[in-house]
Amino acid sequence: MATIEEFGEYETAWCPGCGNFALLEGLKQGLAASGRRPRDLLFVSGIGQAAKAPHYLNANVFNGLHGRALPAATGAKLADPRLTVIVESGDGCCYGEGGNHFLAAIRRNVDLTMIVHDNMIYGLTKGQASPTSQRGHVTKAQPGGAAAERFDPVSAAIALGAGFVARAFVGDTEHLAQMVAEAIAYRGFSLVDVFQPCVSFNRVNTFAWYKKRCYRLPAEYDPSDREAALRRAGEWGDRIPIGVLCRADRPVFEDSIPALSAGPLAGREVDRKKLSQFQRRFG
């Protein structure tokens, strides 16, 4: 059990007023609630403003390449399933450069949690459209407005069969913390897409914009009905739901890999006898 304080306080490289601060706060609360200690946690991130977050946390950190946090996290989790592995990165990183890994992670269903700082923009590279930018969103790189349709990560994840799909908003930290804790507790691939306003480059999807729209899913909402979940996730306009949109049990990847049944790969000894037997097959 760790307290919020154990996850540390660091100076950040974020802009004053950025939604990332509240996100970090909610995340820490969620971590504390999840009962994980810093040493049990591994944060894997890509590159971007969001991806810096793990550097501002007391935990193990693997800060990899832009777009490639998921495969690195997958490798780490398979190497040592005792670790609670959390992928934390931006919308561009996770759904843009990393799109193929997102598809694969959902299909594979390794026990990972993916927390996306979704500011609907490329922050660190100064404000180009991201996959989650709305069609028509004007930026310096898209002066005529983004021409491609918005990628809706939660709908996509639900449609693709993900087992745990949640949305949160930094304006509701308590709820965010809860989503984080639930996602960590869920065994399998879990996604928490977090609305995080970028005060420097996204002048459309501002704190107020989200605030006005986001509402918590009602208590009676049943996340186990995937079709209903899809319908609900599709709500985009005046009202946008936050909460666990979809939740289902799915076979976890680790359980179907015989080599993992004998415990973590890390630290395992070569069974030289067996290897010798294996070699004999070539004779």
Ligand X SMILES: Cc1ncc(C[n+]2csc(CCOP(=O)(O)OP(=O)(O)O)c2C)c(N)n1
Q: Which residues bind ligand X (CB under 6 A)?
A: 47-50, 66, 89-93, 117, 119, 121-125, 130
Q: How far is the CB of 253 from ligand X (least distance, A)?
A: 21
- Residue 4 sits in the site that holds ligand SF4 (CB under 6 A): no
Query: Would you say how long the chain is, in residues?
Result: 283
Site string for Mg ion, 100-129 (x = CB under 5 A): -------------------x---x------
Residue 242, CA distances (Å) to 107, 125, 178 in order: 24, 28, 12
Sequential DSSP letters for 203-254: SSS-HHHHHHHEEEPPTT--TT-HHHHHHHHT--SS-EEEEEEEE-----GG
Single out the residue of 76, 96, 95 nearest to residue 85, CA to CA. Answer: 76
Are 45 and 65 in contact by the 8 Å Cβ rule? The answer is no
Contact 193, 153 (CB under 8 A): yes
Q: Does 250 bind a second copy (CB under 8 A)?
A: yes
Number of residues that bind ligand SF4 (CB under 6 A): 11
The reply to whether 60 sits near other proteins by the rule CB under 8 A is yes
Buried b (16+ CB within 10 A) or exposed e, 42-74: bbbbbbbbbbbbbebbbbbbbbbebbbbbbbbb
Closest CB to ligand X among residues 156, 244: 156
Site map (CB under 6 A) of ligand SF4, residues 214-253, x = contact: ----------------------------------------
User: Given the structure tokens 């709820």, which residue do they identify?
Assistant: 175
Q: Which is nearer to other proteins, 14 or 186 (CB)?
A: 14
Asked if residue 65 binds a second copy (CB under 8 A), the reply is no
Helix axes 69-79, 99-108, angle to 10 degrees: 30
Segment interacting with other proteins (CB under 8 A) among 101-109, 184-192, 231-239, 243-251: 101-109
**Which helix (H) or strand (E) is 87 found in, with range?**
strand 84-90
Which 154-193 residues touch other proteins, going by CB under 8 A? none
Position among 104, 199, 248, 265 found at the interface with a second copy (CB under 8 A)? 104
> 240-247 and 164-169: which strand pairing?
antiparallel
Binding residue (CB under 8 A) for a second copy from 4, 128, 161, 203: 161
Sole binder of ligand SF4 in the list 4, 15, 65, 204 (CB under 6 A) = 15
Q: Which residue is nearest to ligand X (CB)?
A: 90
Report the nearest approach of ligand SF4 to the CB of residue 195 (Å): 12
Distance CA 28, CA 7 (A): 7
Among 4, 103, 228, 252, binds other proteins (CB under 8 A): 103
Tokens of 70: 């998921």
